[in-house]
Structure 1
Amino acid sequence: MKNVLSKIVYFTLITLCLLGFINSPLALILGFLFAIIFKNPFKQHSHKFIHYLLKLSVIGLGFGMYLFETLETSKTSFNLTLYTITLTIVLGLILTKVLKIDLKLGHLITSGTAICGGSAIAAIAPIIKAKSNTISLALGIVFLLNAVALFVFPTIGHFLNLTQEQFGLWCAVAIHDTSSVVGAALNYGEEALRIATTVKLSRTLWIIPLSFFSMLFFKTNQGKLKTPYFIVLFILAIIINSYQILPPYITTFIVSLSKRLLLVTLFIVGSTISIKKLKATGLKPITLAVVLWVFISLFSLWYILK
């Protein structure tokens, strides 16, 4: 009976997200509270749901963007992306050794912080042959910090009077996962959302050189490099919108639906955060993640405001 009730509540909350009655921070909170009060009936499939819904949503957002503006944004953010990824990886390697953390766990946390959270962890894990428990710990820590970022970043952005452009760039660089980046920017403004999505996805491409680095660093040559094909579809969506291949009312509907799907994604992300798992993680990996996160947040904010 309880399992039936949990499914009813689960789909009711998802429906509220789809109808737009819930904003991004509330979607995450409700997901987290749902996981505490009820047993998640789809726990084993949640990460797959997140994986596909996020990519589908991001592709849909491409129908609200324009090609030349997107290229200009990516070009402007290139130096910041290069500096933050390089410095974060170097600092992560040093702190992993200093804190005496398992090298593979430290590298996954560092990769997730440097580039794009869960996507980077999922791409790098098979290359370095990480165990499932190590992957789960890294994902759990990253998802926790993503949840915090969703509330903290917009508050700081408004406090510092960051422009739409500044905030979009900042959250794209300093927040780990694409879902929380878009969630934070969604409430800040349309321009912030456009910039944040563009910069974050161009940043995702850095998974490829990081994969080669990981292969050399861990001396593995059997790992498979994962190409983020959804980025190609995202670019295709931008081209379709830029040249008005589809009528405006269709592209507008797709963008609106994509934003609602992102709310569903954030709800599911919240439902995967486990306090029990985080307690079992220990302080050292969390310390590593927090220090790296604070570093990339402060450095990128300084770079943007200088």
Structure 2
Amino acid sequence: MKWLPGIALAAAAALLSWGIHALIPAVPLLTAAVALGIIVAQIPALRPALGGPLKAGLGVASKKFMRLGVVLLGLKLSLVDILGLGWISIAMIVVIVLLTFVGTIGLGRAFKLPGHQPLLIATGFSICGASAIGAMSGVVRAKDEETATPVALVTLCGTLAIAVLPLLWHPLGLSNEQFGQWVGASVHDVGQVVATAQIAGPAALAVAIVVKLTRVVLLAPMVATVAGIERRKHSAAVALAEATGGTAPDAGARPPIVPLFVLGFLAAVVVRTVLPVPDAVLEVADWMQTALLAMALFGLGSAVRLRELVLTGWRALLVGLLSWVLIAGLAWAVVVYV
């Protein structure tokens, strides 16, 4: 039961995040959870506990709870609503996600970011923020320090979007619906999308959510593709070790063809699409999904060390800002010209 103290702290943080969101609706609950984790991680007196008795529970929250939350996220998605956007809009959303994903990986490599950071930043900025980073980090088995920086960056830029995009709404000459499309196609976290788009009215909010959830659907094929690549790399490393007499990688480290939580996510999408799921069930699932992701994102945030990020992470910060500009620019061009 060594994980209980960390789980209890994550649950308390999720409850506090809910309170902050209730008092200040403009602050998305999940953004508040990440921010609380980051704040706690900067308190020197708490660091021994975070690295000691709380570590196991926070690890369970950031990994296992994240995957369960992603599965339940699928119940928010109805393929009928997504198809209602039309094939051209769907194709353009896919193009925006792919260009941002590939472009951000290219930026990360150009700035020589270490390890899996380019991949994780690309995943978070192109698909669905810190939730996507957590899902992808589990597939590539990224270290906590590799995950922490992308989580901090996507939280920072998503929070900036809540303030910056509304200021550009009228100067760019966007209608209410166009603004909703722009927000849904460019802002990272679902809660941040809601906080940004709601100022333009219910119609803008509705289209923003559908566009955003269309991006979320792409999490499954992205993660499955990366898992396949990692699996081939593992097999190649084993074959090389056998041929040269070297040490073979751990067989248990071989990624599955398709991660189990991705299959669960897709199954939830299918259930929501083809079955008349009662509203009460959807409400309970939404509450559970929010609670699980809030606890998971607090756990991820607790691994962020801002001092190290400021001193050594300026390249990652620049990559994150450029990626944010890239996706916002691509989304604006599609909304205006397509």
Which residue is 2:266 aligned to?
232
Identity of aligned residues (%): 14
**In the alignment, structure 1 residue 34 sits paired with structure 2 residue 50:** no
- Structure 2 residue runs without a partner (length 5+): 199-204, 239-253
Q: Secondary structure at the match of 1:139?
A: helix
1:52–1:300 CA distance, 2 compared to 1 (3 A): farther
**In the alignment, structure 1 residue 253 sits paired with structure 2 residue 269:** no
User: Amino acid of the residue matched to residue 243 of structure 1?
Assistant: L
1:298–1:213 CA distance, 2 compared to 1 (3 A): farther
1:115-171 Cα shifts (integer Å, max 9, x gaps): 543333443x36xxxxx6xx4443122111122133222223433167477546645
Name the CA distance, whole Å, in 2 between partners of 1:288 and 1:83.
17
Name the CA distance, whole Å, in 2 between partners of 1:298 and 1:236.
32
1:104–1:15 CA distance, 2 compared to 1 (3 A): closer
| Alpha-carbon shift at residue 89 of structure 1 (Å) | 1.9
1:195-253 Cα shifts (integer Å, max 9, x gaps): 423422224412334555677899946653443223223213413xx532x43333333
1:258–1:168 CA distance, 2 compared to 1 (3 A): farther
Name the CA distance, whole Å, in 1 between partners of 2:7 and 2:224.
39
Name the CA distance, whole Å, in 1 between partners of 2:6 and 2:77.
38
Which residue is 1:182 aligned to?
190
Name the CA distance, whole Å, in 2 between partners of 1:86 and 1:145.
19
Q: Secondary structure at the match of 1:294?
A: helix
Which residue is 1:274 aligned to?
305
Q: How does 1:103-182 map to 2 (within 5 A)?
A: 105-107=117-119, 109-110=121-122, 113-115=125-127, 116-123=132-139, 125=140, 135-159=143-167, 160=169, 163=176, 167=180, 170-171=183-184, 173=186, 175=188, 181-182=189-190
Give 1:70's match in structure 2, choosing from 54, 62, 82: 82
Name the CA distance, whole Å, in 2 between partners of 1:5 and 1:215.
35
| Partners of 2:14 and 2:291 within 8 A in 1 | no
**In the alignment, structure 1 residue 49 sits paired with structure 2 residue 83:** no
Which residue is 1:178 aligned to?
none
Which residue is 2:275 aligned to?
243
| Partners of 1:154 and 1:184 within 8 A in 2 | yes
Q: Secondary structure at the match of 1:206?
A: helix
Name the CA distance, whole Å, in 2 between partners of 1:220 and 1:71.
40
Which residue is 2:14 aligned to?
14
Name the CA distance, whole Å, in 1 between partners of 2:336 and 2:153.
23
- Bigger shift: 55-64 or 28-37? 55-64
- Structure 1 residue runs without a partner (length 5+): 127-131, 176-180
- When normalised by structure 2's length, the TM-score is 0.65
| Partners of 2:14 and 2:298 within 8 A in 1 | yes
User: Amino acid of the residue matched to residue 82 of structure 2?
Assistant: T
Which structure's CA Rg is the greater one?
2
| Partners of 1:137 and 1:278 within 8 A in 2 | no
- When normalised by structure 1's length, the TM-score is 0.70
For the aligned residues, what is the CA RMSD?
4.1
Q: Secondary structure at the match of 1:148?
A: helix
1:174–1:210 CA distance, 2 compared to 1 (3 A): farther
Name the CA distance, whole Å, in 1 between partners of 2:39 and 2:107.
36
